[in-house]
């Protein structure tokens, strides 16, 4: 069996996900095809995985494929494809996504999912994935494409709506959501055996139910702990606790992410909110710089893999492959089209995050029903932006980029329409060849 990893220069992540496959008795003897456009990072990934393979005692084969001219060979015959590309990298594109909006007075924290940064990331990523899709449809049309690249809902939704590639979007925020909440509130004794239901959209999927091992609702206990944590100046997860206060439910992705998905917390006329909610402005660029600085030491540490012991990570990919191959069911929180109104009060063309059963038939999304109306309304403020961004990617019309930015909750709360359009124009010019030509 062949498993292809697109964006294998993401060495830490490829080590984790392919390492998980090597630790599976079902998958350990697979052929692992690594694809990237950076020859140095591709070779580093191969070296690290070879060291891991030796340490684990796996029998699989590791192959490398460099650049678009070898892309079809990387994909040919693949049964499963894992995607983790980052088009434009930290420099120049992430820097552009932060610095140009900042000139207009628009501050961001992560800028990879929504907001003007998420819009630009989607518009430069989708054309590359369209090229992938053409190759997949030609050389491995039955392969399951597992997307880890952000903005998750936009990228996965585009592939699901406008290509023939079997796609599921994967994020690790669902499987850690309820556990992290209980840990943060000092309720660790309820982690073991807990039950939860999560549904919505990526990075804003709602913890609709959380129960202990005996089926008791934990939300009353959770709510009782919120005042103490909100009063703690050092507590970092205040935005999501504030969601519970005002919308009734906790959500999947971190507070630094969710601070920029709405018009409530990052406001130049209310600067005191930044300290009150511990909002880390420009957080993602700092992470990127720190990761780049630490990479050499981290690379040498990873290269000494034969001296380590490994356990499987929480990432879904290897478990999905295993479940499909063995037909032993496994449940995930997956990003899929809302076909048949899995969530009845969100549109069918939206990419939603819902429980999915994985088995020999592939990914089988589960019906959820209606979200609480306020949660659906919050999701729709994000879905509006996602759908307009996909229209821009599909039609290459600049007016849809303007409209997506105008309807983005945070952008609209801070800037007037003329400023929004001027900012979009500046971003398009700065991104240059990383973006297609818009009409």
* Residue carrying the six token digits 């220069």: 9
Give DSSP secondary structure letters for 18-37: HHHHHT-TTTTTSEEEEEES
**What is d(CA 285, CA 410) in angstroms, rounded to the nearest whole number?**
19
**What is d(CA 107, CA 89) in angstroms, rounded to the nearest whole number?**
20
**What is d(CA 138, CA 123) in angstroms, rounded to the nearest whole number?**
24
The answer to whether residues 94 and 285 touch, using CB atoms and an 8 Å cutoff, is yes
- C-alpha triplet 422, 417, 92: angle, nearest 5°: 35
Give yes or no: 203 in active site.
no
Q: Which CB contacts under 8 angstroms, 24+ apart, belong to 232-240?
A: 233/275, 233/278, 234/278, 235/184, 235/278, 236/278, 237/180, 237/184, 238/276, 238/277, 238/278, 239/265, 239/277, 239/279, 240/181
C-alpha dihedral over 416, 419, 421, 423, to 10 degrees?
Answer: -130
Helix/strand number for the chain, H first, E second: 17, 11
- C-alpha triplet 336, 170, 78: angle, nearest 5°: 90
Spatial neighbors of 199 by CB under 8 A, at least 6 apart, are: 205, 206, 208, 343, 352, 353, 354, 355, 368, 371
Distances (CA, A) of 345 to 109, 251, 366, 390: 29, 18, 15, 20
Among 302, 303, 312, residue whose Cα is nearest residue 25: 312
Angle between helix 11-22 and 317-326 (nearest 10) = 30
Phi, psi of 171 (to 5 degrees): -145, 145
Give DSSP secondary structure letters for 148-169: -PSSHHHHHHHHHHHS--EEEE
The answer to whether residues 315 and 17 touch, using CB atoms and an 8 Å cutoff, is yes
The answer to whether residues 29 and 23 touch, using CB atoms and an 8 Å cutoff, is no
Of the candidates 134, 172, 203, 410, the residue annotated as catalytic is 172
- Name the region of 203 (left: φ>0; alpha: ψ -120 to 50; beta: rest): left
User: Which residues are known catalytic residues?
Assistant: 172
């Amino acid at each position: 069996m062949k498993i292809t990893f697109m964006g294998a220069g993401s060495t830490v992540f490829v080590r984790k996900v392919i390492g998980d496959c090597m630790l599976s008795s079902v998958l350990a003897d697979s052929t692992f095809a690594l694809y990237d456009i950076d020859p140095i990072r591709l070779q580093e990934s191969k070296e690290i995985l070879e060291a891991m393979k030796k340490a684990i005692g796996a029998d699989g084969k590791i192959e490398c494929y460099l650049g678009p001219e070898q892309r079809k060979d990387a994909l040919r015959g693949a049964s499963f494809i894992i995607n983790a590309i980052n088009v434009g990298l930290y420099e120049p594109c992430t820097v552009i996504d932060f610095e140009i909006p900042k000139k207009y007075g628009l501050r961001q924290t992560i800028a990879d999912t929504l907001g003007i940064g998420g819009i630009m990331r989607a518009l430069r990523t989708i054309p590359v994935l369209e090229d992938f899709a053409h190759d997949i449809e030609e050389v491995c049309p039955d392969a399951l494409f597992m997307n880890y690249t952000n903005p998750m809902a936009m990228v996965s939704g585009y592939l699901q709506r406008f290509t023939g590639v079997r796609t599921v979007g994967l994020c690790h925020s669902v499987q850690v959501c309820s556990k992290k909440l209980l840990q943060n509130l000092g309720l660790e004794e309820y982690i073991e055996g807990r039950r939860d239901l999560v549904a919505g959209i990526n990075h804003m999927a709602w913890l609709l139910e959380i129960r202990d091992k005996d089926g008791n609702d934990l939300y009353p206990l959770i709510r009782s702990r919120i005042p103490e944590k909100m009063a703690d100046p050092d507590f970092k997860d205040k935005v999501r606790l504030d969601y519970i206060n005002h919308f009734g439910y906790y959500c999947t992705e971190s507070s630094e992410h969710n601070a920029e998905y709405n018009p409530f917390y990052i406001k130049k006329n209310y600067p005191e909110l930044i300290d009150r909610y511990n909002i880390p402005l420009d957080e993602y660029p700092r992470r990127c710089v720190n990761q780049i600085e630490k990479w050499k030491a981290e690379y040498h540490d990873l290269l000494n893999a034969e001296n380590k012991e490994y356990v499987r990570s929480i990432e879904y990919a290897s478990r999905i492959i295993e479940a499909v191959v063995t037909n032993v069911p496994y449940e995930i929180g997956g990003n899929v089209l809302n076909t048949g109104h899995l969530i009845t009060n969100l549109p069918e063309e939206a990419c939603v995050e819902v429980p999915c059963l994985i088995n020999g038939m592939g990914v089988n999304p589960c019906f959820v029903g209606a979200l609480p109306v306020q949660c659906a309304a919050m999701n729709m403020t994000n879905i509006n932006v996602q759908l307009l961004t996909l229209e821009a990617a599909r039609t290459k019309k600049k007016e849809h980029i303007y409209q997506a930015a105008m309807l983005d909750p945070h952008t609209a709360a801070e800037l007037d329409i003329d400023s929004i359009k001027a900012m979009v124009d500046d971003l398009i010019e700065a991104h240059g060849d990383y973006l297609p030509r818009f009409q």
